């Protein structure tokens, strides 16, 4: 793909730097102490609370809210982190509106749930500001575990293993840890380098060494890791990008949304990032929303998301869709890209075919088409698992649906290898779900290493 900065209509500095900085300020202002106490007082402290069941990491939500209400913020943070070591990031990026808050009894009774996410952030932010470590490394066991990937699943697994006294070596392909928390989430959701501050807290427990620039299938192999370590955990994520399946995808101005978000997240000065005047985003998930809203906040004049199904089928939550529309993003449903239009090697627009529900329930073309002018087109139709990284010698892992098959303990078809996060069959593309995978796997690995099962 050529440099997007060369394409007409794509430029940096569409807005003054100070306006862009304001556009990328914290999406949700944190609660002040009085606000936290008032919000905590709204909790019914339900017995068999449905919010706990709705949380993938089963945080005792009524407990930590009660601790906030009684002024014991540190204990609240400990309650959260004991179940979810990335509770600080999840308080910022977790779709609470479709998980714990949707299950909140006050949501059912009043249509206004307790602000669980903001209360969780209040507690964890206070702990990080305090700087004190909640966890301590257990007595050394002499056992060594390799973790592939320093994303949420890998870091959660590494931390839990270190707390149990095992030595952990993390192998990360990039030059910074954090995975999608660092590279793939909208910048206005995690300001002030919070992703790295949280990673620093996790690694401070001790017993964890991170090796950067070490990609599975290249600098390291699964076979070698199995030889060198007592157990292996794979938190690979999804390294591939789904293609549109159209000609001309290499036109200047056609971008992978995840790669663009990563560049935006790593830019010290966001006003230097080129963006189109007319932007089209193809997809219906969180990545599509994130890249669309951020394009608008960088100064794009027209931003349109186009999705092949209806509003109710979009993976992005209703809240996120509303955020996009409030930000000035248009969302068009029931259309899929038919061809990319270019001139001189640069994208000029996208022709779409209108769709409708077919007899098999899948979208089918109606025969009608329309065209959207664009000088920048983002592909946000999902990422793909790259199984070839696993094939460098040794036994093969079994796959299911194109991803790694695991059991309830996140064990793979190989007795000494576990996996979690987006790379496993059934992976949910959520930080909180990846953390739970890493935590569950660590418990199983610990039992394995202690010959307990």
Map out the domains of the chain as residue ranges.
Answer: 33-130, 144-239+385-449, 242-379
pTM above threshold 0.85 = yes
CATH second-level architecture of 242-379? 3-Layer(bba) Sandwich (3.50)
Tally Cβ neighbours within 10 Å of residue 15: 17
CATH superfamily of 144-239+385-449: FAD/NAD(P)-binding domain (3.50.50.60)
CA distances from 201 to 80, 176, 195, 314, 424 (A): 14, 15, 10, 35, 26
**Two domains, one topology: 144-239+385-449 and 242-379:** yes
Write down the pLDDT at residue 7.
45
Q: Which tens digits make up the pLDDT trace of 365-397?
A: 999 999 999 999 999 998 888 888 887 556 789
Q: Which residues of the chain have pLDDT under 50?
A: 1-7
Write down the pLDDT at residue 439.
98
Write down the pLDDT at residue 243.
85
Write down the pLDDT at residue 6.
44
Nearest CA to 131 among 204, 62, 64, 187? Answer: 204
The correct CATH number of 33-130 out of 3.90.228.20, 3.20.20.30, 3.40.50.180, 1.10.1060.10 is 1.10.1060.10
Sign of the four-CA dihedral 438, 439, 442, 443: negative
Write down the pLDDT at residue 2.
41
């Amino acid at each position: 793909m050529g440099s997007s900065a060369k394409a007409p209509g794509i430029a940096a500095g569409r807005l003054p730097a100070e306006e862009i900085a304001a556009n990328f300020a914290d999406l949700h202002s944190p609660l002040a102490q009085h606000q936290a106490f008032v919000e905590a007082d709204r909790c019914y402290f339900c017995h068999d609370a449905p919010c706990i069941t709705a949380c993938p990491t089963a945080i005792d939500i009524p407990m930590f809210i009660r601790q906030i209400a009684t002024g014991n913020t540190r204990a609240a943070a400990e309650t959260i982190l004991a179940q979810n070591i990335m509770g600080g990031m999840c308080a910022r990026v977790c779709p609470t509106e479709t998980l714990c808050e949707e299950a909140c009894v006050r949501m059912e009774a009043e249509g206004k749930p307790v602000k669980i996410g903001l209360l969780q952030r209040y507690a964890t932010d206070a702990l990080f500001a305090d700087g004190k470590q909640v966890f301590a490394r257990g007595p050394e066991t002499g056992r060594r575990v390799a973790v592939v990937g320093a994303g949420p699943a890998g870091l959660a697994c590494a931390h839990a293993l270190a707390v149990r006294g095992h030595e952990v070596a993390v192998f990360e392909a990039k030059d910074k840890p954090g995975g999608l928390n660092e590279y793939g989430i909208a910048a206005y959701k995690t300001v002030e380098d919070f992703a790295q501050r949280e990673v620093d807290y996790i690694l401070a427990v001790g017993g964890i060494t991170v090796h950067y620039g070490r990609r599975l299938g290249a600098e390291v192999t699964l076979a070698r890791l199995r030889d060198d370590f007592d157990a292996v955990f794979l938190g690979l994520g999804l390294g591939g990008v789904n293609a549109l399946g159209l000609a001309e995808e290499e036109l200047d101005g056609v971008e992978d949304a995840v790669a663009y978000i990563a560049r935006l997240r790593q830019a010290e000065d966001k006003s230097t990032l080129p963006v189109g005047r007319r932007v089209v985003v193809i997809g219906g998930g969180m990545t599509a929303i994130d890249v669309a809203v951020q394009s608008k906040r960088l100064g794009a004049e027209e931003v349109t998301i186009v999705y092949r199904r209806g509003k109710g089928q979009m993976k992005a939550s209703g809240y996120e869709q509303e955020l996009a529309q409030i930000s000035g993003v248009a969302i068009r449903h029931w259309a899929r890209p038919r061809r990319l239009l270019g001139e001189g090697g640069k994208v000029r627009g996208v022709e779409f075919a209108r769709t409708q529900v077919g007899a098999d329930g899948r979208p089918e073309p109606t025969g009608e088409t329309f065209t959207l002018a664009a000088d920048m087109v983002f592909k946000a139709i999902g990422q793909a698992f790259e199984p070839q990284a696993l094939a460098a010698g040794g036994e093969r892992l079994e796959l299911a649906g194109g991803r790694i098959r695991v059991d309830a303990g996140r064990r793979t078809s190989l007795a000494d290898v576990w996996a979690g996060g987006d790379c496993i069959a059934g992976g949910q593309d959520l930080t909180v779900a990846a953390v739970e995978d890493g935590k569950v796997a660590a418990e199983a690995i610990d039992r394995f290493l202690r010959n307990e099962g």
